[in-house]
A and B are shown apart, each in its own frame.
Chain A
């Protein structure tokens, strides 16, 4: 991934850390976010709120990963859950049968998901638009059916992970504070990877092909390779999230880690916040996950059955109808109006050249 050449890895890291094109405001924002998440388990002691926070970070990771292929590349992936499942099952199976520690299994889980998405992606990414979306949905459902059908995956019964005396860092069986920081670490790693892509040659290629695939190809972008790289990267991050999920909950089955609803929820997390923006998935997850969990807790147990989902669905419909660009779209449009004063397109282009992107535009010979 990222820029190749002698300064490759260093440049990629530098790109990843420079969080945006408007560094100061967003870096302050990111610093505040980071501080809030670091302080969270010391301020909030309630178990439920802590669990919601961990799930928020997990969905923010999923949404961030989705951004690589869906946000930058514009390919609507509705099969994210299969990679989550691959990650979760790799951990659950290897830990329960071989008693392998979490950190040894994590690379295996990620590699398995990457291999699967490479093979499947090589075929699927030839499809466009709705055909791709339905294709990813179909592949994810095939895996779900197979994992229910097979005996060695525990079938519909699922798998219980062995219980170790907590805290056990090797097996990732921790107290709530420990889980909080591991989830935060995963989220930061995901943000680093995806932000690195966004600022790299690959990121420009993806945005070029999102805008117009033929035009991008005609100026020399290897459209298929760019899509495949983004698709495999997102699968790796979903799998890391899934691996964490398995260790965190200690039990998985095909209905909890591979359902269609999870795939759609992941795409929705990225989109409702704002696709293609680093903040999008964070905001999307901050809205959707607490909404879902607290509605379930407040309304789920009593009164009318399904009332929590009814309210949830109304919120989703209202968001889709009234703010299709996502919450980040509102914030960005406010920012754009302000920046438009004084700043011309020329200045923006000049800045891009100054920052070293001028010679790295899509299609340029490397």
Chain B
């Protein structure tokens, strides 16, 4: 594999990370809460897509709307039943609350689906290759990257251009000021979790085309996503995009030129070095 191949595959994977980081960073921006269960939202999205592909329509991409709906519902339920109470407590209570949620979803999936690793056997894109400027790419990976990019763009437009997006950003800047302006911050919190859950769920559906589905599938992605969010700067949407892609590229470079087993160590190392220079993250503000 030449350098160009590595870089392209890094960017492709990085776009999926960016979409995952987007949901996490919105939740953080609005509520100052790190959602430890974000990887598990992704995992539930994977199961939603896998179930759809197995029983409804033989392609995991058909599961996109299902995964989005399941993820959004899960996010809202998590907010209404758990996070709303956690917000009254200290930061660490939020940490443990969402850590508990992570365990709950992971072992809930284990109880329902069992420990077996699943994968899709039918799909429109499965096994197809795309030639792009001399580089051969898996159609499934390209679709995941393109889908992630489009969804990221849609959410970004929602945040920047719509009334509800402005209200959400206003809540992120100052809850009190937003309340005085007549914004229902409770609803904005719920919306933040809905977006976080939906984007994670859809990222899961996009990944199901070429990634194994298991109750622990979310763990790895969760760690990468945390790193991306912190690297980009907590709460920064452009930061999530840049850091997501950076993380994808670093991971692929490390896997290709150092050792596949150490690809995550290099991601964490880059985070570590970056925050030494900019303690607020790449595009974060203090």
Contacts and interface: CB of A to CB of B under 8 A. Distances in A.
Interface of A: 76, 123, 126-131, 133-135, 137-139, 141-142, 145-146, 148-149, 260, 264, 267-268, 271-272, 275, 304-307, 309-310, 312-317, 319-322, 324-325
Contacts of B226: 134, 137
Given A123-B276, A314-B100, A321-B85, A129 B91 contact: yes
A275 B95 CA distance: 14
Q: Which 7 A-B pairs have the closest CB atoms?
A: A324-B89, A324-B93, A306-B107, A316-B100, A313-B103, A317-B100, A306-B110
B91 A141 contact: no
Given A138-B271, A146-B262, A307-B111, A268 B96 contact: yes
A134 B230 contact: yes
Contact of B279 (A126, A149, A307): A126
A313 B97 contact: no
Contacts of A320: 86, 89, 93-94, 96-97, 100
A146 B95 CA distance: 26
Interface in B156-202: none
Secondary structure call for the B interface: helix
A126 B276 contact: yes
A363 to B, nearest CB: 24
B92 A271 contact: yes
A134 B261 CA distance: 21
Given A123-B276, A260-B223, A316-B96, A324 B90 contact: yes
Given A138-B271, A313-B107, 9 more contacts: A128-B279, A133-B95, A142-B268, A145-B265, A305-B110, A306-B107, A307-B111, A320-B94, A321-B89
Contacts of B97: 316-317, 320-321
Contacts of A313: 100-104, 107
Nearest to A310: B107
Nearest to A324: B89
Contacts of B127: none
Given A316-B99, A317-B101, A146 B115 contact: no
A13 to B, nearest CB: 31
A139 B223 CA distance: 12
Contacts of B104: 310, 313-314, 317
B108 to A, nearest CB: 6
Secondary structure at the A interface, as helix, strand, loop or mixed, is helix
Nearest to A268: B96
Contact of B261 (A148, A272, A321): A148
A138 B96 contact: no
Nearest to A78: B95
B111 A324 contact: no
B111 A135 contact: no
A131 B279 contact: yes
Interface string B241-252: 000000000000
B135 interface: no
B99 A268 contact: yes
B279 A321 contact: no
Contacts of A325: 89-90
B272 A139 contact: yes
29 contacts: A130-B230, A134-B226, A134-B229, A142-B265, A146-B262, A148-B261, A149-B259, A149-B261, A149-B262, A149-B265, A268-B99, A271-B92, A271-B96, A272-B96, A305-B114, A306-B108, A306-B110, A310-B108, A313-B100, A313-B101, A315-B100, A316-B97, A317-B82, A320-B96, A320-B97, A320-B100, A321-B89, A324-B86, A325-B89
